[in-house]
Amino acid sequence: MRLTFVLIAAPVILAQSGNLSFQPQPSEQPPATITLKDALDLAAKNDPTLLAAATDAAVARQDYLQSRTALYPTLSGRSEYIGTQGNGKIPTSRFVTNDGVHVYNEWAVVHQDLSPGTLKRTGVQRAVAAEAAARARVEIARRGLAPAVTKAYYGLVVAQRKYAIAQQVLEEAQRAANISQNLERGGEVAHSDVVKSQLQVNAQYQALNEAQLAMESARLDLAVLLYRDFNENFSVVDDLDMAPALPPLSDVENMAASQNPALAAAMQNLRAANLDVTIARQAYLPTLGVDGIYGLQANAVLLNSVDRAYPGLGPVGTLGYEVDATMIIPVWDWGVRRSKVRQAEFKREQAQTDLSNTQRGLIKNLHGYYDEAQTAHQQLDLLRRAVDLAAESLRLNTLRYQNGEATILELVDAQTTLIQARNAYDDGMVRYRLAIAYLQTLTGSF
């Protein structure tokens, strides 16, 4: 007997006391365990459609803030110098509107627009509707992401289950092959049974490899949705058997009527279209602009300055105020305002059509998704019963084959039936989960 000693090198450090101590190698970070909710949260941070909708909502929020502040007066400063050519005879310039060669304007201006839109806050209401529609589109994108993530998440869960089933079936096939070999030694079965059982073992080896490949592919599909750096170091929680119950149809209809983001977005778009018509019609009404000015307009930037037109008066005060009020009354514009009103009315008609289509589509999809979820849930009991019966059939056929009462073909058929029943049950669970995910895009979580 020969003993072989293998020396495994490990990094060491010399302590101050002179003794040798081992420094452990850093271990790999354990995989993160994620639930379906975690997967949805991670995918929401990476989905381009959802991020684009969130950006649009943020922009709409700023539009609302801008429209609200546009109602208030604005304060601005104005510093101006006007240099005009002199005439050489009088102290004023060549231009009669300027009372000197050098004119300085130093003003603080308060401006306020008093239009029909300002008084009725039409622009603010339009911005509120646009922001609400944008936020509804964010919810549409978030809910629309859920079925894709749910499908990929439970696709990995089922792939892991099928891999585990393939391992179990391979063990059962090897056990059946051992039984065939033992029966052949006793002269109870022909060699063809051993060959058939060995072919079954080979087939299960191949099925195991395919199941492993499918599991790795499902992990890649989920990793693409969850991580920007394509991280595969995670594990999923197998809660496939803990699917939520399906509420009654009346409750689902109530939730869809009150919590459907597509319907909310269509209603807000129609509200915005109505306000656009109002804004277009307000262009026919007069607008008033008021400017309050305080400062100086003099030939020098001084609180007391000599007016070049009246130098004999000496220094006079320069600070003062001025109020300018301007009313603009629309008279004729070659039909531009009328054309804009017609444009707004066309868009309103389209918004009404979109709302009607959204309502009809909601009813159709709601009943379709509910029927799919109900059918998938009803089939689960049958699929679960089929698994129990297939497992019992395999047990009985194994005993019968050991006792010489069944053929190898019956045993192989029982193994195949059990595999199909288990996989069909898992696929049925995923179908129900996916049907619930699609239904919740219309109703929200329940």
Query: pLDDT tens track of the chain, all 446 residues?
Result: 333 333 333 333 333 334 444 344 444 678 889 999 999 999 999 999 999 999 999 999 999 999 999 999 999 999 999 998 888 777 777 777 777 888 899 999 999 999 999 999 999 999 999 999 999 999 999 999 999 999 999 999 999 999 999 998 898 888 888 888 888 887 777 888 888 888 888 988 999 999 999 999 999 999 999 998 888 889 999 999 898 899 999 999 999 999 999 999 999 999 999 999 999 999 999 999 999 999 998 888 888 888 777 888 888 888 999 999 999 999 999 999 999 999 999 999 999 999 999 999 999 999 999 999 999 999 999 999 999 999 999 899 988 888 888 888 888 888 889 989 999 999 999 999 999 999 999 999 98
Backbone angles phi, psi at 298, to 5 degrees: -145, 175
pLDDT at residue 4, as a whole number: 33
Helix (H, G, I), strand (E, B) or coil at 281: helix
pLDDT at residue 23, as a whole number: 43
Tell me whether residue 354 is exposed, middle or buried, using C-beta atoms within 10 angstroms of its C-beta: 0 to 12, 13 to 18, 19 or more.
Answer: middle
CB within 8 Å of 273: residues ≥ 6 apart: 344, 347, 348, 350, 351, 352
pLDDT at residue 2, as a whole number: 33
What is the C-alpha to C-alpha distance for residues 89 and 105, in angstroms, rounded to an integer? Answer: 25
Return the closest-CA partner of residue 78 out of 45, 109, 117.
109
What is the C-alpha to C-alpha distance for residues 139 and 133, in angstroms, rounded to an integer? Answer: 10
Q: What amino acid occupies position 148?
A: A
Provide the edge-to-edge strand list for the sheet that holds 74-83: 74-83, 102-114, 287-298, 319-328
Dump the DSSP string for 377-445: HHHHHHHHHHHHHHHHHHHHHHHHHHTTSS-HHHHHHHHHHHHHHHHHHHHHHHHHHHHHHHHHHHH--
Structural domains of the chain, ranges and CATH numbers in brackets: 32-71+121-285+330-443 (1.20.1600.10), 72-120+286-329 (2.20.200.10)
